[in-house]
Structure 1
């Protein structure tokens, strides 16, 4: 059997689907079904919640899985991408898959895939994400989980996770992203994501962009499904508890909503008003499970409250003392969400931005959204001590070059520094940020993962 390091190396050798050098393969769910069948169809041994969307699906999945685990259900969580270790994507009750199990199951999946290719049942070896999804499904079956919360990787209709028969399908906020793969309009992207819906199934979502609303409605119209609007779990302004002090620069989401006619106190460690939508989706799913009670989950308000309170989803407006704020905003919609959160910071607090992104993202749009908030030449005295530090993302073929990042800043006539690597970027940011200031790092999940590792290990 392969060692863990050998398994990870072989997995990455399959090539990341979105890498510029990756072949533009036409994905077929039948290929993933064949692979799963060769492993005994592990995904059919437990009920699943399938979550698709552009932004917020990971936070929704993390919150939901934490609630379900708090109710006593043995809960699987599958997410992507990871911040630092690939094991983070595959969890049971908050614990990532052990290295030994990862290596063992990778070996099993890889051998099954090779046999399928040798028997000419598959035209080629499965992709990175297909193999990882097969590992996750198999591990969850071995662990005899009660329920799995699955985050779609890309799109929905052709995503490897979409071979499950979801108990509930969830659509989070949809915006433009991955246009090369999903389509160049919100309507086309929504149609791809709505591919996780099932005839006579259950959909949980929220009102959002008009084009997305219309496309979801059209997709659902012929399926005779039960559609649930999670808007009832969005707090009113009067329901929000305004804390005067916080251990982080941004307040926790702390408010009260009605859950089956009873008060439920939300106290989430995930800050930002946008998280209220993700929490609402999770609560709507939990309430749907409570009403059906098909699997006898112990869904009680104190347990739900504990699950929300103990949600762990790092890199999402995460504060690492003394002054580092991390957020994985990786597309224009995420940048706008982050911009709204930044407005909650003290206006007179000096800010340093560490930024990088992948070159298949809309660099100009993201910089137009974020860079003006850190422009020391704007004439605003509150911004006089602000800085922008740009750095490459290491070991990532999709990373934007520092020269391209600098060019984007120059097009806006906003000054920016360039660092040769992330260690230097963090050191430079710490050196130039005045006492009492804050360093905000964003632009890519991979940037945040690397910086988080550097900061935590320091």
Structure 2
């Protein structure tokens, strides 16, 4: 059936959609069948020639900043002259954004061709191993990334973990270097309720004898990473112990295994991005130590040139409009700090939509004191929380805040812009779907309605 005719892009998306859901979705819960997902992914990749073994891999886990860190190191590698693959999740406007070759999303026809090949392999997998069954949507897309990068002859691939690390489908790789960004509380119903429990899942990407770079961590998380690295005989470069950054995104200094770099500038706003850049720079030095030369000029250029839409993205001035995909307590605090650091305003309107599985109270706590007005919105995501619930909790936290709902992100933006003065600030946040719909409403991008309808 999968080889009857060449698939169109929408047929490929439809195939994925049929294998997706909340728990077995595009970033799947790997704990439901404890390890079977990794086995399925290995078998699936073996059927198409083990493409993940054909190039060096940087494998990145963490709670905060792993996508930004992946963007930093991919841009650095590209600046060093390497053909670079980047696999991240989720996406903003099109599913193909998850698979990038030298900063360009995978072409629709290439996506469809490769997924059709994997669908055929998936049929063979299910027939040969009925105990394992078919691969999930996320396992298939992970395999698609590896296959696309092999067919494109990349020099290096940067792979972001989907969820956790230890049992994530991406953890089939033997990385040239692994990295763990700052660990915090997210996906607690899956990964655990304590930092050390969450850290054990993230540290599951550390492989025997393979170097690992870590952001500075809370003591409980650092202890787990240090112990795991020692057990695996893996060289560990731990932030604030083995490497350091100081300064602001506009001008910072890095000190670490490759020496000292001064006068660095980040292409991404926010003090937390200085730390993410530090992780990426340490990764670059680790690659150089292993024969993949990344000169300081490429590091300097890559850190400054990186772009990662929807992360403290300024899309308009007078009034200023900022889009940020903060979605949990730590990222909301980072957003609040960045707003106070980088912007001044007379009135701040926050447009917020948050998924039901996120801690609404913890998310609102650092942001509400900054707000004159809050507009709660739905999005196209079936997992988004009812706007009325956001308004109710906001009023409990801050009874006098001007809190209301709007029927859509576009409507909220129109209202906020109509009422804003030139010195005011509008922030759209809470999820990537809020950011995506804001960018689309502002004419910065467009979505494929058929794709969005299939993906839900």
TM-score of the superposed pair, with normalisation by structure 1: 0.89
Question: Residue 390 of structure 2 aligns with which residue?
Answer: 405
Q: Equivalent residue of 2:333, what SS?
A: helix
Within the candidate set 25, 28, 34, 2:32 is matched to 25
Q: Equivalent residue of 2:85, what SS?
A: strand
Query: Can you give the 5+ residue segments of structure 2 that lack an aligned partner in the other structure?
Result: 1-5, 446-456
Aligned residues: 429
Within the candidate set 9, 13, 35, 1:8 is matched to 13
Deviations 1:319-339, CA, capped at 9 Å, x for gaps: 001321011111111111111
Deviation at 1:415?
2.9
Q: Does 1:185 align with 2:183?
A: no
Query: Are the equivalent residues in 1 in contact too, given 2:91–2:97 (CA < 8 A)?
Result: yes
Question: Residue 53 of structure 2 aligns with which residue?
Answer: 44
Query: Are the equivalent residues in 1 in contact too, given 2:267–2:304 (CA < 8 A)?
Result: yes
Q: Distance in 2 between matches of 1:225 and 1:174?
A: 19
Q: CA RMSD in A?
A: 2.0
Question: Residue 366 of structure 1 aligns with which residue?
Answer: 363
Question: Residue 221 of structure 2 aligns with which residue?
Answer: 212
Q: Distance in 2 between matches of 1:34 and 1:157?
A: 18
Question: Residue 120 of structure 2 aligns with which residue?
Answer: 111
Question: Residue 284 of structure 1 aligns with which residue?
Answer: 282
Deviation at 1:262?
5.4
Deviation at 1:139?
0.3
Deviation at 1:17?
4.5
Query: Are the equivalent residues in 2 in contact too, given 1:17–1:128 (CA < 8 A)?
Result: no
Deviation at 1:278?
0.4
Q: Distance in 1 between matches of 2:90 and 2:361?
A: 23
Question: Residue 312 of structure 1 aligns with which residue?
Answer: 307
Q: Equivalent residue of 1:46, what SS?
A: coil
Query: Can you give the 5+ residue segments of structure 1 that lack an aligned partner in the other structure?
Result: 241-251, 375-385
Q: Does 1:236 align with 2:236?
A: no
Structure 1 residues 227-306: aligned runs within 5 Å: 227-231=236-240, 234-237=244-247, 252-258=249-255, 260-261=258-259, 263-293=261-291, 295=292, 297=293, 299-306=294-301
Within the candidate set 89, 97, 100, 1:88 is matched to 97
Q: Distance in 1 between matches of 2:422 and 2:305?
A: 31
Q: Equivalent residue of 1:224, what SS?
A: coil
Deviation at 1:68?
0.5
Say if 1:261 and 1:159 are closer, same or farther in 2 by CA, change over 3 A. Answer: closer
Which deviates more, 337-346 or 269-278?
337-346
Say if 1:205 and 1:76 are closer, same or farther in 2 by CA, change over 3 A. Answer: same
Q: Distance in 2 between matches of 1:287 and 1:106?
A: 35
